[in-house]
Amino acid sequence: MHFKRKDLLGIQELRAEEIEFILDTSASFKEINHRSIKKVPTLRGKTVIHVFYEPSTRTRMSFDIAAKRLSADTYSITTSASSMVKGETFLDTIKNLEAMKPDVFVIRHSASGAPHRIASRTSAAVINAGDGMHEHPSQALLDMLTIRDHKGHLDGLTVAILGDIAHSRVARSNIWGLTKMGARVIGCGPPTLIPAELETMGVSVSHRVDEVIPKADVLMVLRLQHERMSQGLLPSLREYAKWFGLNDRRMRKAKKDVLIMHPGPINRGVELSPEVADGPYSVILDQVTNGVAVRMAILYLLGQVERQEPAMSVTEARLSV
């Protein structure tokens, strides 16, 4: 099949065969990351700009490594080191970067929908590297690749997503992706951290982690997102760890071949005990390794698409996101 999208903004809009195709393409890129010379000329002459207006370790580094391994030229801009501190709007910033003729923008922003607004105004490909509480498509793709690597398939599996689903773009992207690929998804957490729309997305809901653990082929544990929480959603971190944290005692009830996943960064001792995070069921670092291959595949596939002329006018560029 041919991948014809200009941008990668979310998993919600992808068809199952497109997801499968990106996963297959990612699998084919893995081998490059194990060579002694980890570089191919695929994107030579292309320019990738990383626009990260929220902190990131894994996503930013792996997009940068992926682009460099494909021989693209990469540049980064962050809020604190840009003219946004002088009052320039996000759209003005992008318009000015676009005038330097990049081929790809990789955008992380705290506002849901920010990459979508940019995508409709630029001829460059836009990759959503996490927008607010909305979507984190490359994370879901690397998660699905990791599950497929270990289980051989996604259809028919039971994936339990545990914890702070309300604030999680990772959860939303995974729910769209996993359900399209035929997996059963259970959402489990305290009622204050489970969004009302979850059941309409095809997810079963439970508030009892000890009842969910024995059913799961995959336990996808989420980070408690303090930075996006209003006050009063949890009594305390200690209470949360007691009722929802995964530890050795709880894991005795799990299937023998269960996978423990976490998108990172981990709050050790809160959502995962150190023994579980680093234990035999954990595939957390496999997720990180797959992140490079998945992001190489995304950059490669978007890099093949023919570009139209820029659509953003100077007037539009003055609008703020």
Segment contacting ligand CP (CB under 6 A): 25-33, 56-64, 109-117, 227-235?
Answer: 56-64
Residue (59 or 290) nearer to ligand CP, CB: 59
Can you tell me whether residue 282 is helix, strand or coil?
strand
Min dist CB 220 to ligand CP, Å, is 12
Residue type, 181: M
Among 56, 112, 206, 225, binds ligand CP (CB under 6 A): 56
Of 225, 205, 133, 146, the C-alpha closest to 173 is 133
**Stretch (H or E) spanning 243:** helix 237-244
Min dist CB 291 to ligand CP, Å, is 8
The yes or no reply on residue 59 touching ligand CP (CB under 6 A) is: yes
Residue (265 or 274) nearer to ligand CP, CB: 265
State the DSSP string of 196-221.
GGGGGGTEEEES-HHHHGGG-SEEEE
Segment contacting ligand CP (CB under 6 A): 37-45, 50-58, 247-255, 270-278?
Answer: 50-58
Among 26, 74, 128, 139, binds ligand CP (CB under 6 A): 139
Min dist CB 2 to ligand CP, Å, is 29
Min dist CB 58 to ligand CP, Å, is 4
Segment contacting ligand CP (CB under 6 A): 30-38, 57-65, 234-242, 302-310?
Answer: 57-65
Widest Cα–Cα separation across the chain: 60
Q: Are 40 and 69 in contact (CB under 8 A)?
A: yes
Can you tell me whether residue 143 is helix, strand or coil?
helix
The yes or no reply on residue 310 touching ligand CP (CB under 6 A) is: no
Give, as ranges, the residues between 69 and 128 that touch ligand CP (CB under 6 A). Answer: none
The yes or no reply on residue 58 touching ligand CP (CB under 6 A) is: yes
The yes or no reply on residue 132 touching ligand CP (CB under 6 A) is: no
Distance CA 320, CA 178 (A): 34
Of 129, 147, 126, 148, the C-alpha closest to 139 is 129
Min dist CB 304 to ligand CP, Å, is 25
Distance CA 27, CA 289 (A): 12
Segment contacting ligand CP (CB under 6 A): 55-63, 82-90, 277-285, 294-302?
Answer: 55-63
Among 5, 24, 44, 57, binds ligand CP (CB under 6 A): 57
Give, as ranges, the residues between 235 and 294 that touch ligand CP (CB under 6 A). Answer: 263-265
Min dist CB 271 to ligand CP, Å, is 14
Of 32, 20, 23, the C-alpha closest to 297 is 23
Q: Are 70 and 40 in contact (CB under 8 A)?
A: yes
3-state helix, strand, coil in the chain (%, to 5): 40, 15, 40
Taking CA atoms, 51 is separated from 68, 133, 186, 243, 306, in Å, by 16, 18, 33, 38, 22
Q: Which residues bind to ligand CP, rule: CB under 6 A? A: 56-60, 130, 139, 263-265
